[in-house]
Chain A
């Protein structure tokens, strides 16, 4: 509202109102901050107590950590380095095969999960959903698939399909579906709706509208999420073997349980190197994708 008579008294009056509102606002913000801080501290203390997170146990246990790591490392001598290394990595051939299997498991699972997510995500976007019913179904389904830990899925699939990578692939794929379904849907919700309206006016159906009105806008986001998911899935696939669901994890858990200390370190080094290389590769790819998008 515009004030039509800008007299001195009204101006002073407005100023007074403004000042009062400022003070009230500041007061309210201060209260909010104090309350938030209190809650934060309470949560920290509470979770430390419940989780038995005590500094004393930490200090007492730390040396044992070093001891364990030391025990897994073999004795290497300069004079016989080659032979020592060969002895340490005696299973290199087998481990590399298993690592390849691990990476391929992650690859296939990412592909399957992302395809599933692609089918689900349009129903789960508030701006695109056909109706409330399918929206909630899509959202709750992807929520379910990403909340159940993938190792639990793997146990169930091992029971159903037997030991081996198939169970692991399915478990990781389901988890990826849930996670990417949500991320894709949220990318869809941020699109410009004008092309969607344009397509509807052309007489295009819902599926066609998703394909030509939505997907061209979100493909770079999808690609970036898929690559990121692949990085995560390689790490997950590495532990799938703990429950017999394929990959190098089986070898690792056997070494841990049988106290083959030097095997543990050798396998761990191989896993870390592989995961690291894939992370770097995916990150490069993602940046290349994003960079190209923003430059154009």
Chain B
């Protein structure tokens, strides 16, 4: 079970996430909706600590995620797979290698530098390729694939992590409707068949209603709605999307981080 307790994140003067508390039961498919800049990406990135919370606590199955450091933190990241809006594959490596990189968190530095993977891992990769319908593209460079294919590679890579939870940050915002459906149903299948908890930010209500067990609505860094898709009334939608007027998005302020540990800006999504 994931427990987020009073978590906040400030970027300079702007508050991206303000005192958010959430509980996510094992095996749930939770959608996070809200306008661009509402704090969805920042919240997801605090769970795997790509972004450090300014305050608050995150717990997962008794582990205090917010306290982890060094190899413990890497081990946690290896367990909490992330799917990105822009896929974040290594463009010049082939699909198979990209998928095998899902295991990198479980290898020592030296052997992994020479891409030593076990036979079991290779068999796993082939299975993942097959499951996501990527067999034919296995030896192509990731950058030559369409967006939908790349996102499926990212999902296959996430599967290789044998994750306890999948954090999906706008996984379909850059895809056309057909590919979006393929990707969402792949995520749904992983959720159903493998029982993996999924936390997924979405910018369309329709996708959230269709795939999620539970929906969390965010506006201005706060949770303003929590419930089942059926609870999502017109009034609730109004509150999520028509929140008070804001000048600019949080994403503008975090656009120029320094250092490799710095957070990446929340990518502005297409208008809902």
Contact = CB atoms under 8 A, between A and B. Distances in A.
B93 A212 contact: yes
A129 B92 CA distance: 22
A130 B90 contact: no
B88 A195 contact: yes
A217 B92 contact: yes
Interface in B188-238: none
Contacts of B73: 203
A235 to B, nearest CB: 33
A7 interface: no
B91 A198 contact: no
Given A197-B84, A202-B77, A208 B112 contact: yes
Interface stretch (B18-26, B52-60, B99-107, B124-132): B99-107
Nearest to A207: B109
A203 B79 CA distance: 8
A203 to B, nearest CB: 3
A201 interface: yes
Contacts of B104: 199, 202-204, 208, 212
A211 B113 contact: yes
Contacts of A199: 90, 101, 104
Interface residues of B, number: 38
Interface stretch (B1-9, B30-38, B177-185, B257-265): B257-265
A195 B90 contact: yes
B88 A194 contact: yes
B74 interface: yes
A295 to B, nearest CB: 13
Contact of B157 (A192, A202, A211): A202
A130 B260 contact: yes
B84 A198 contact: yes
B260 A202 contact: no
B161 interface: yes
B107 to A, nearest CB: 8
Given A194-B88, A201-B48, A208 B113 contact: yes
A127 B260 contact: yes
Contacts of A205: 74, 109
Interface of B: 48, 50, 73-79, 81-82, 84, 86-93, 101-102, 104-107, 109, 112-113, 141, 154, 157, 161, 258-261, 264
- The 3 A-B residue pairs with the shortest CB-CB distance in the complex, in nearest-first order: A203-B105, A198-B88, A203-B78
8 contacts: A128-B259, A128-B260, A129-B260, A195-B90, A197-B264, A200-B77, A206-B260, A213-B90
Given A198-B89, A198-B154, A202-B157, 17 more contacts: A127-B260, A193-B264, A194-B86, A198-B88, A199-B90, A200-B77, A200-B261, A201-B48, A202-B81, A202-B104, A203-B77, A203-B79, A204-B105, A207-B113, A208-B109, A212-B101, A217-B91
